[in-house]
Structures are given as C-alpha cells and as structure tokens.
Amino acid sequence: MRHLPPLNQLKAFEACARHMSFAKAADEIGVTATAVSHQIRLLELRVGRTLFRRRPRPIALTEDGVRLFPIIRNALDSMAEGVAALSLGKANAALRVTTTNAFAARWLAPRLPLWRAAHPRSRVHVIGTDALVSLEAGEADVAIRYCRTAPPGGRLLMRDRFHVVASPKLIGSKRLKAGRRRLLAYPLVEAGWPAGDPNAPTWSLWMDRAKIKERDRPEPTLVFHEEAHAIEAVLAGQGVGICSDVLVGAELASGALSVMSDVSLPGFGFFIICRDERAQAADARAFTDWLTDVARQPAPAG
C-alpha cells in the first residue's frame, strides 16, 4: 500500500520549486499564495524536513528540497503524459512534441507562431521536461533530444556552443570582452549539470580551458537546477553566466547579452526523432521539416 502525500501538496511544492515564487505557483494552480504556503507547510510536516528557505527573500530550496524536486516533477510529468497518451486514438489528435524545458521555453515556443501561421489547423502539445519521454511507449510523436552523440534514429537539427555572457544591466552599455581576472570578479551564475560529466559546460571546465590557477578560482555565486532559470538570472544582471548560443541567440543578436570572453566551450547536439508508427504521418513529417528550415535561419533579435 502506497503512503503518499495528498496531490495538492505535491502540486504546490512542484510549482513553487519551479517558479521559485509562492505567488506564481498560486496563479498557475488557481489558488491563493497563502494556500500554496499552507500546502507546502503540511508537506514539510509530513516528511519532517524543511523544503524551502523563506528568509531572506527570494525563497530558495533547501538541500532536501533540491533532492525532492526532480522526483516530484518527473512523477507529475509522467502522470500528465500518461493522460495525454489516451488521446492517441482520437480523430484530429494533437501532435505531441517532447524536448527539454529550456529548449521548449527559449527556442521552440518563440517560433511556434511561425508554425501556426503556416498550419493554422494544426494542434501541437509541447511536453517540456528533462525526463526522458518514451516514443516507443506512445508518450509523444516527435522528440528533440539534447545529447552529445546521435541517439538511435536521430537526425541532427543543430549544435550549440557555450559562451560567457553578461547583460548590460551588470556590465554597462559597452560590449567589450573583459580580462579574465576582472571577469571572475563578477558574480558567477551556473546551471546545475548532472554530476560525473567531465565535459559539462561548467565554470570549472571554463577555468580549466582559460588556464585559471586554482588559487584564483571563485565558486559560482548562484546555481540553478533549471537551465532556463540560470539564463533568466543572467538576463536580469545578477551575474555572468555560461550560456548556450542556441538558447540565448535572440539576446545575443539584440545586444541584451554580450559575449565576455574568447574562451568558449563545446556544447551538444539537438536531434529530431519521430515515433516509428508516425514517421510517415503528414503532420509529423511537416513539423520536422519546418524545424529543420527554422533552425537554418538566424535567431530573431529579441
């Protein structure tokens, strides 16, 4: 017999951990911020652990909260995807596209109006998750995988590269590359990458490539579990970050971000995969062809 917390507590915790805001979580769920806070308090009492540091603001996950967040997020994602999979047999079923949270938010979503303008009757469900959604099990129709080498059946869409970038809000209006000592004097923002990958685009790897001596190496000031959150912090001028030129292409084109160093790091590939049963379906074929065409175009200045 499963002894699980009430779903309302899990939903409140996951939404708040994702947004890092009681108010935004409340707007998403459709309750008050007080109700969200109350549900999280009940969950903390149930597990016997503090999951959020509420002072000083802004709120932050505790170590226990960091461990719990991906477990709850992935479980809720799996439930949502399982329910969505029941629509497979429906006529005019939506094309279900899965990709990472960051790519969905920062690259795919801004370009979807172009798809809708060309295919006004098409219905697309975007499953943004860092969990692996199974095409073989029918959980999605098209996947955009982010990995170093091509997965089975994957077709390369594009590759990215990671650059040290900063906002004029932090560095001023001059778009000049900074000396390495001056660069490391700024707060460093980092996205949390899976442990054990020696080639992950972290500040540690960048300092290796930049030949920074051990005694001169500061620790990152802000570390985010979600890559998109790290990018938002850099855009807000909270520090200097190492960001994918695919995910911040629009900001680099507009000047909202500037490259601060000649030292950059290799990234990964974005690969398109279609579920076998739908590989020749008109909507999946049209969508993947459209992705390929759009990926060849310069990033729009955002």
Question: How buried is residue 257: exposed, middle or buried, by Cβ count under 10 Å (0-12/13-18/19+)?
Answer: buried
Does the structure show a pLDDT above 60 at 199? Answer: yes
Note the pLDDT of residue 185.
92
Strands 188-191 and 95-99: unpaired
Note the pLDDT of residue 2.
72
* Residues 6+ away with beta carbon under 8 Å from 191: 223, 224, 225, 226, 227, 229, 230, 231, 241, 242
* Domains 93-157+269-296 and 160-266 belong to one CATH topology: yes
Strands 240-244 and 188-191: parallel
Domain boundaries, the chain: 7-83, 93-157+269-296, 160-266
Q: In this prediction, what percent of the chain has a pLDDT beyond 90?
A: 63
Does the structure show a pLDDT above 50 at 280? Answer: no
Note the pLDDT of residue 276.
64
Q: How far apart are CA 7 and CA 76, in angstroms?
A: 9
Does the structure show a pLDDT above 90 at 173? Answer: no
150 vs 143, 218, 269, CA distance in Å? Answer: 13, 35, 8
The CATH code that applies to domain 93-157+269-296 is 3.40.190.10
The pLDDT of 170-198, averaged and rounded, is: 82
Domain 160-266, CATH class in plain words: alpha beta
- Write the single-letter amino acid at 144: I
- Provide the CB-side half-sphere exposure for 56 (13 A, CA): 0
User: pLDDT higher for 177 or 254?
Assistant: 254
Nearest to 212 by CA among 201, 204, 200, 220: 204
Note the pLDDT of residue 279.
46
Note the pLDDT of residue 301.
63
Rg over CA atoms, the chain: 21
Confidence of residue 1 (pLDDT cuts 50, 70, 90): low
The pLDDT of 171-182, averaged and rounded, is: 74
Q: Given 3.20.20.80, 3.40.630.10, 1.10.357.10, 1.10.10.10, which CATH number is that of 7-83?
A: 1.10.10.10
The runs of H, that is alpha helices, within 142-248 are 168-171, 180-183, 203-209, 227-235
- Dihedral sign of CA atoms 201, 206, 208, 213 in order: negative
Confidence of residue 108 (pLDDT cuts 50, 70, 90): very high
- Provide the CB-side half-sphere exposure for 33 (13 A, CA): 6
Range in 176-180, 183-187, 292-296 the model is least confident about: 176-180
- The two tokens of residue 115 are 């798809």
Does the structure show a pLDDT above 70 at 259? Answer: yes
Note the pLDDT of residue 124.
92
Strands 155-166 and 258-259: antiparallel
Note the pLDDT of residue 91.
47
Give yes or no for a contact between 160 and 147, defined as CB atoms under 8 angstroms apart. Answer: no
The pLDDT of 59-86, averaged and rounded, is: 83
Does the structure show a pLDDT above 50 at 158? Answer: yes
Does the structure show a pLDDT above 60 at 210? Answer: yes
The SS3 call for residue 22 is helix
